[in-house]
């Protein structure tokens, strides 16, 4: 609490870490906090110092979604505005031309898990729980959660989780492929930093194209996808990253 901002950005070149900072309510988001978060993700997207982005929460939670006390006061117009902001934040995360990792250090629920699903990679603490419980409040997801969870786990599992609203623990989330890894509590950020540094050492052009192609694979047919991949492959063959990468490979092989 205190005078600290509700969204903190720390740039540890080549990594930017976005921290949600309302720990007393498990980082549940008000409209004001979402406006700040949208501004911060847009800034990080444009910041050339940050080649990889990590999103996490302060305290013992990742994000508990919308602040229910505020949500209960919304008019229909206010509710639409709130959902639209969440959708815009997630769209920026998903289309950002650099990898985004969700460091799920605790509960990631509702809008919080929708945001995690918009990230490219999710690493969870062993004590974390995740899910989309909107149906238990007589509501539904509003920031892309129903689409993204279906893409991640398939229709049958997604429908069960959406229809029941149940939360799953980290181990079940891993089995269902909702998260990529599960690590001991207290090690999530460390694990994400290590992965981020590894990714930051890769060609940014290659990562951008791979992210774009992977995201578009759900929307375009096979022939168009193969054409785009071929064009992208040709493009990276002219970059300095490809030249230095192939040179390093040949040097390692020749030393053997």
Q: What is the DSSP string of 8-62?
A: EEEEETTEEEEEE--GGGTT-B-HHHHHHHHHHHHHHHH-TT-SEEEEEESTT-S
The answer to whether 114 is a known catalytic residue is: yes
Tell me the longest C-alpha to C-alpha distance in the chain.
Answer: 68
- The residue from 114, 190, 219, 229 that is catalytic is 114
The answer to whether 134 is a known catalytic residue is: yes
CA atoms within 13 A on the CB side of 42: 9
H or E element that contains 210: helix 204-216
Judge whether 127 and 185 are in contact, CB under 8 Å. Answer: yes
What dihedral angle (degrees, nearest 10) is formed by the CA atoms of 201, 174, 89, 73? -150
Sign of CA dihedral 190, 170, 130, 144: positive
Task: Give the distance from CA 113 to its chain's centroid.
Answer: 9
For residue 20, how many other CB atoms are within 10 A of its CB? 27
Closest of 180, 163, 172 to residue 121, by C-alpha: 180
Alpha-carbon gap, residue 178 to 171, rounded angstroms:
10
- The residue from 43, 134, 171, 172 that is catalytic is 134
Residues involved in catalysis: 114, 134
């Amino acid at each position: 609490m205190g005078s600290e901002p509700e969204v903190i950005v720390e740039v540890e070149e080549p990594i930017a870490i976005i921290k949600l900072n309302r720990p007393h309510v498990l980082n549940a988001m008000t409209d004001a906090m979402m406006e700040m978060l949208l501004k911060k993700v847009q800034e990080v997207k444009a910041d050339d110092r940050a080649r990889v982005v990590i999103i996490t929460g302060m305290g013992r939670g990742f994000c508990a979604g919308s602040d229910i006390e505020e949500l209960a006061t919304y008019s229909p117009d206010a509710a639409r505005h709130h959902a639209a902001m969440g959708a815009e934040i997630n769209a920026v995360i998903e289309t950002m031309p650099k990898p985004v990792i969700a460091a799920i250090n605790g509960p990631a629920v509702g809008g919080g898990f929708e945001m995690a699903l918009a990230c490219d990679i999710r690493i969870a603490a062993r004590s974390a729980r995740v899910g989309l419980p909107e149906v238990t409040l007589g509501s539904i997801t509003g920031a892309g959660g129903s689409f993204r969870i279906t893409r991640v786990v398939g229709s049958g599992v997604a429908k069960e989780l959406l229809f029941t609203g149940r939360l799953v623990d980290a181990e079940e989330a891993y089995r269902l492929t909702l998260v990529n890894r599960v690590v001991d509590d207290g090690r999530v950020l460390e694990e994400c930093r290590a992965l981020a540094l590894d990714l930051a050492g890769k060609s940014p052009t290659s990562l951008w194209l791979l992210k774009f192609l992977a995201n578009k694979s759900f929307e375009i047919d096979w022939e168009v996808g193969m054409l785009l991949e071929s064009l992208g492959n040709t493009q990276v063959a002219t970059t300095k990253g490809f030249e230095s990468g192939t040179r390093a490979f040949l040097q390692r092989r020749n030393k053997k």
